[in-house]
Amino acid sequence: MRAAGKGRFAGKADPTAAKFSRSVHFDQRLAKHDLEGSRAHATMLGRVGVLTRSEVSAIVRGLDRMEREIAAGKFRWKDSLEDVHMNLEAALTEKVPAGAKLHTGRSRNDQVATDLRLWIREQIAGDLEAIRNLQKALLQLGEKHQEVILPGYTHLQRGQPVTLAHHFLAYVEMLERDHGRLVDAAKRADVMPLGSGALAGSTLRLNREIPRKLLKFGQLSRNSMDAVSDRDFLVEYLGAVALTGVHLSRLAEDLILFSSAEFAFVKFGEGFTTGSSLMPQKRNPDMAELVRGKSGRLIGHLVSLLTVLKGLPLTYNRDLQEDKECVFDAADTIRSSLEVMARAVASLEVDAGACLYAVSSPELLATDVADALVRAGLPFRKAHQVVGAAVRHAEGAGTRIDRLSRQVWESLASGMGRVVEEVLAGSPVTRLKRALHARSSVVGAPSLSGVQKELKQWKKRVQ
């Protein structure tokens, strides 16, 4: 901040430069945390004798009053005061003369670093809750449709039968890793830089333990130069939410595909679709498409902050003002994406018949046939070759592998016709359930009993 005729500068900043460097329009969202840090700092100054007891009381009352004004939308932000810190300090000093002493022993450098750490802890707590809500929505859908069977895909080609619940549990697992990364990022942010000053602490006898305890930080920063220039905790947050965004994008893509007429496995509730300005029959999965698109913003914000930091010398540089807009936008983006996806998933209607139709082709049990041949004594590569040859033979004859005669199978693998028939016998539902049951002994496989157990365990965990 520069004041005409006072301090180091004789004149005002160039208007273009002042406008260019202004940040109050976006960093005012740190006001709550700035006030919280200021209350703790004032209390500490009082205990070490820099402020009198009455001065501390007056300052804290003034800060409390300003917080109420901000919450009510009555606080007047001034662009001329550049940032959130100077706005709040000026407003306090105007009403409380002792407010001019509040900045004793601190700099905007350690002040903003503290504000950001307070803010990110609160933000992450809300993000963790939003992740849990999406996990709950996926689990509820899986529990409701736990016996629905559909194809599992590789290369977007039908591979093997799985349950719909098993498919959604894959995303519950992804989201749990996202949850863990955010918890880890919060641990790294739980370090208080306040008291580091501009870069070299203070000659005053400050007691940093007092504000640490008041602000509930786990530990104090141990190097004042690192404390004011460190933004690793923001990079970690952006990395965590960028990967969360990628997972949401993958979920959105699956649901977009599954809700298309070509798949028709699921249908979004009307509240999460839009129409076409030209084609009256359309119901477009726009919310899922937006979530898929917004993942690009999250990745971009991570790259942006890494690029800002990569060439900075110690300690604070004004480049660090660029950390806030990308982090704030990423925070808003990931929270809204998680919230809308949770509600969109809860709105889904599942067409069990369409899923069964897609998974009924006996070719999806080709691997099961190969496994049966292995159990009967064939080496796996030989079994793989036999089943592949049977699929090719069926295609050439315009039929399916379950309709090939025992003689055909015997010609491909002597004595194995009965083994194959045991796998492919019965109706599509019968053989699919048999195939899933055969996976019961394998942890993590999509057996009906195994998936039911996983649903119960996850339901307890996310509560």
Q: Which part of the chain has CATH 1.20.200.10?
A: 109-206+218-357
pLDDT one-digit tens code per residue, 402-432: 999 999 999 999 999 999 999 999 999 999 9
Token pair recorded at residue 300: 């971009």
Please give the average per-residue pLDDT across 183-187, as a whole number.
98
Question: Which pLDDT does position 9 carry in this prediction?
Answer: 84
| Mean predicted confidence (pLDDT) in 150-178 | 98
Place of tokens 């700099």: 107
pLDDT of residue 307 exceeding 70:
yes
- Whether 437 is catalytic is no
- Residues contacting 151, CB < 8 A, separation 6+: 158, 159, 160, 161, 162, 358, 359, 364
pTM summary value: 0.95
Interior/surface letters 257-290, b for 16+ CB within 10 angstroms, e for the rest: bbbeeebebbbbeeebbeeeeeeeeeeebebbbe
- pLDDT band of residue 8 (cuts 50, 70, 90) is confident
- pLDDT of 325 reads 97
- pLDDT-derived band at 1, boundaries 50, 70, 90: low
Is 276 annotated in the active site? yes
pLDDT of residue 20: 94
23 secondary structure, DSSP code: -
**Where does the pLDDT of residue 294 fall: very low under 50, low under 70, confident under 90, or very high at 90 and above?**
very high
Q: CATH 1.10.275.10 in the chain, residues?
A: 15-104
Query: Where along the chain do the CATH 1.10.40.30 domains lie?
Result: 361-462
**CATH class of the domain defined by 15-104:** mainly alpha
pLDDT reading at 358 higher than 70: yes
Neighbours of 303 (CB within 10 A): 12
Q: What is the pLDDT of residue 56?
A: 98
Q: How far apart are CA 200 and CA 75, in angstroms?
A: 34
Report, as an integer, the average pLDDT of 338-362: 98
pLDDT higher than threshold 90 for residue 2: no
| Per-residue confidence (pLDDT) for residue 3, from 0 to 100 | 47
Phi, psi of 181 (to 5 degrees): -65, -40
The one-letter amino acid at 248: L
109-206+218-357: CATH number: 1.20.200.10
Q: How far apart are CA 410 and CA 36, in angstroms?
A: 80
Helix (H, G, I), strand (E, B) or coil at 162: strand
Lowest mean pLDDT among 1-15, 41-55, 208-222, 295-309: 1-15
Q: For residue 6, what pLDDT is reported?
A: 65
Buried b (16+ CB within 10 A) or exposed e, 331-364: bebbbebbebbbbbbbbbebbeebbbebbbbbbb
Asked if pLDDT for residue 196 goes beyond 50, the answer is yes
pLDDT tens per residue across span 90-113: 999 999 999 999 999 999 999 999
Q: What pLDDT, on the 0 to 100 scale, is given for residue 5?
A: 44
pLDDT tens-digit map of 388-405: 999 999 999 999 999 999
State the chain's mean pLDDT as an integer: 96
56-96 pLDDT, tens digit per residue, is: 999 999 999 999 999 999 999 999 999 999 999 999 999 99
Amino acid 300: pLDDT: 98
Best CATH choice for the domain 361-462 from the list 3.40.50.2020, 1.10.3210.10, 3.30.590.20, 1.10.40.30: 1.10.40.30
Residue ranges with strand state E in 156-250: 157-163, 191-192, 219-220
- The single residue of 276, 437, 440, 449 carrying the catalytic annotation is 276
